[in-house]
Amino acid sequence: MDGFDLAETLLEDEKKGTITLEATKEFKEQNTDIDIVCLDTVTAEKVNWLWSGYIPLGKLTLLDGDPGLGKSLFALDITARISTGQPMPDGSPALHGGVVLMSLEDGLADTIVPRLEVAGADKSKIVALQGVKDLEGKFRFPTVEDIEAIGNACKKVDAKLVAIDPLMGYMGGCVNSWRDQDVRRALSPLAKMAEEIGVAVVIVRHLNKTSSSNSIYRGGGSIGIIGAARSALLIAKDPENENRRILAGIKSNLAPLPSSLSYMIENIDGIPKIVWGGVSSHTADALLAIPSSPEEKSALEDANEFLREALLNGAVDSKEVLKQAREAGIAERTLHRAKKVMCVVSKKAEFKSGWLWVMPSEGCQNDTKVAIKNNGNLGGDLATFGNLEGIQSDLKEVLI
């Protein structure tokens, strides 16, 4: 009798009141190493929403976008609506509850509080989590892994929303944001906490600078970040009006993609406030297909940043580096250019083994400004034939 059959028999016996000690003992002996749930004992539940179609309760929602487009302002607009119970931007009803803010880039007194006041927020329902005690009793900066602290903050105000802005600033020091396993290990407890207490968690992330128009791959860090989210949204410029912004759906596991919405940012006595418009026809992929603005970092800079983090703790198998780069949306050609700029060395692991990529500890040009200025036409040692030894090493690595 397998586990499911025995479980079913035990359930029937329990209903009849004829369950035996021997049967219970047999079940425990056969199932000491697994934790299973017979699905006919699970009651189906509907998805609950903080904002129907956009932000689910009890789940992670990702908000992607370039700096300066109003991602943080959007989070505060939603915060104000939840704190007072006023309708959501599309007119749908909102839940009334508290909010926990984890904001790294904006000051409370000069930025967050004035913006919340202009948005009409009830500040008594909003708390900012700014520190947690370490083992020595001293306060330190919180991370997404401080689940107990985040949960306790939620209970203080009966929170319906936790806003983490930006995500990368709240990753622990041991988390490689480009590594899928690290990201999932860091975010899984956060997702579990959200589900257990029924709070929506919105995490803000900057875009990378790849040329891909596939919005799934345009967020910074590992693909595992958007994989952990059940909903993902994009904020981008409206191509028809540079002063207008578009909120568009990237991913939705729990419902059809929501309608794109437009908004403008108005200043009230020098304080920005979101004024929502109507539905927009622009999709996330279409918005990201538009050429990048001049002030954005180049794809090469993104690849440099990726290599610094990927090789921070020592040598890594070259195939693993290439795999992580693909998942992060970094083109292989760009990665190899970054490898040369960063003076990353290829070393043979062992006889008949693969190649390792290693970041040299000294004697390397870590400042990539020269390479960036010569983007597409690198000079000196970075020229096509300027460093034959490096090219031969790369070629040998590929051939082997």
Tally of CA atoms within 13 A in the half-sphere of 308 that contains its CB: 13
Per-residue pLDDT at 29 = 55
Per-residue pLDDT at 35 = 84
Q: Which stretches in the chain have pLDDT values below 70?
A: 1-32, 211, 291-297, 351-352, 361-400
Tokens of 90: 């599309």
Q: Which helix (H) or strand (E) holds 373?
A: helix 369-373
CA-CA distance, 169 to 161, in Å (whole number)? 19
Q: Which helix (H) or strand (E) holds 73?
A: helix 71-84
Per-residue pLDDT at 312 = 87
Give this prediction's pTM: 0.70
Q: Which tens digit of pLDDT belongs to each residue from 138-167?
A: 899 999 999 999 999 999 999 999 999 999
CA-CA distance, 172 to 182, in Å (whole number)? 10
Per-residue pLDDT at 181 = 87
Q: Which tens digit of pLDDT belongs to each residue from 40-54?
A: 999 998 999 999 999
Tally of CA atoms within 13 A in the half-sphere of 321 that contains its CB: 30
Which of these, 341, 349, 282, 351, lies nearest to 320 by C-alpha position?
349
* Pair 249, 257: CB distance under 8 Å: yes
Output the CA–CA distances (angstroms, integers) from residue 354 to 193, 279, 306, 335, in the order listed. Answer: 40, 53, 21, 18
Per-residue pLDDT at 340 = 79
